[in-house]
């Protein structure tokens, strides 16, 4: 355990890509422990309708990695001219570093020791805002708690959604009933190389927050 303060944990839990340790095995019992902590997050009516699928079979991870890469290509193809320096996110400080890091994870996804798929019950494609918010709100908080629990144990993950362009293929591969469960992301799990992560760039309070009236 790193024994970080609560504020250190909350401000230094990063999307880790380049510093995932692909050569160190992860212990199933530690993943279970992190998930059991995560399950304490709120969920609508405390229904616990979520499912959590952990993959640590290297052959499955290799195939998932291909689908992750194909999903990323699908996403890039939707962006037309808005790639590279034309991409809207290119205005963010550190963009080239993020880009390089995203590429690195793409090239190495097949090497991660384990991958987590949080699954929420039902499909939201045709739901209204209430059901969408309630569905995602009932699983994203637990997912982030999982990241925090990993970090405290010297491990890390990267929040990714690119594979969702190939969600159905991943569902078929892993036996997930596609019409009954929605995948919310794909989360590689590994020990991290070092533990000295730092707060990252975010827009300042005054740019994004206001009191009493929208600005
Ligand atoms: C909803 C969401 C989707 C994301 N999808 C991807 C992804 O598909 N691939 C990837 O490498 N990173 C992905 N990221 C990670 C972000 O790029 C990352 O959080 C950002 O670079 C900031 O890093 P930081 O959170 O460590 O400060 C995603 C993050 C979020 C919140």
Instruction: Give the model confidence (pLDDT) of 197-213 as tens digits.
Output: 999 999 999 999 999 99
Task: Give the atom of ligand 1 at the shortest distance from the alpha carbon of 13.
Answer: 26
Residue whose CA lies nearest to ligand 1 atom number 18:
15
What's the CA-to-centroid distance between 15 and ligand 1, angstroms? 6
Decide if 113 is inside a domain.
yes
Q: Which domain holds residue 174?
A: 6-87+94-195
**Res 91 pLDDT > 90:** no
pTM (2 decimals)? 0.96
Q: Is the CB of 162 under 6 A from ligand 1?
A: yes
pLDDT of 95 reads 82
Q: Quick: pLDDT tens for 9-43.
A: 999 999 999 999 999 999 999 999 999 999 999 99
Instruction: Write the Ramachandran bin of 80: left for phi over 0, alpha for psi from -120 to 50, otherwise beta.
Output: left
- Provide the number of structural domains found in the chain: 1
Helix (H, G, I), strand (E, B) or coil at 145: helix
Question: Does residue 203 sit within a domain?
Answer: no
- Residue with the smallest CA separation from ligand 1 atom 21 is 98
Ligand 1 contact, 105 CB (< 6 A): yes
Give the domain CATH number at 73: 3.40.109.10
Any domain includes 57: yes
Query: What's residue 84's pLDDT?
Result: 77
The response to whether residue 108 sits with its C-beta less than 6 Å from ligand 1 reads no
Question: Is 215 a member of any domain?
Answer: no
In a domain, 18, yes or no: yes
Measured over the CA atoms of residue 168, residue 174, residue 176 and residue 177, the dihedral's sign is positive
Residue 207 lies in a domain: no
Which strand (E) or helix (H) includes residue 129? Answer: helix 129-137
């Amino acid at each position: 355990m790193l024994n970080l303060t609560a504020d250190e944990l909350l401000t230094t839990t990063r999307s880790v890509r380049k510093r995932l340790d692909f050569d160190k095995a992860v212990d199933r019992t530690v993943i279970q422990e992190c998930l059991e902590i995560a399950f304490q997050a709120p969920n609508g009516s405390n229904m616990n309708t979520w499912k959590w699928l952990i993959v640590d079979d290297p052959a499955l991870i290799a195939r998932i990695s291909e689908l992750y890469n194909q999903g990323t290509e699908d996403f890039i193809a939707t962006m037309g001219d808005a790639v590279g320096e034309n991409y809207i996110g290119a205005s963010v400080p550190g963009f080239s570093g993020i880009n390089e890091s995203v590429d690195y994870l793409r090239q190495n996804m097949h090497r991660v020791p384990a991958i987590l798929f949080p699954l929420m019950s039902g499909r939201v494609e045709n739901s209204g805002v209430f059901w969408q918010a309630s569905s995602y709100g009932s699983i994203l908080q637990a997912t982030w708690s999982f990241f925090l629990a990993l970090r405290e144990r010297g491990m890390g993950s990267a929040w990714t959604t690119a594979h969702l362009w190939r969600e159905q293929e991943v569902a078929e591969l892993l036996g997930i009933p596609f019409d009954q469960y929605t995948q919310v992301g794909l989360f590689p799990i590994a020990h991290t190389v070092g533990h000295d992560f730092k707060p990252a760039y975010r827009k300042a309070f005054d740019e994004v927050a206001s009191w009493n009236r929208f600005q």
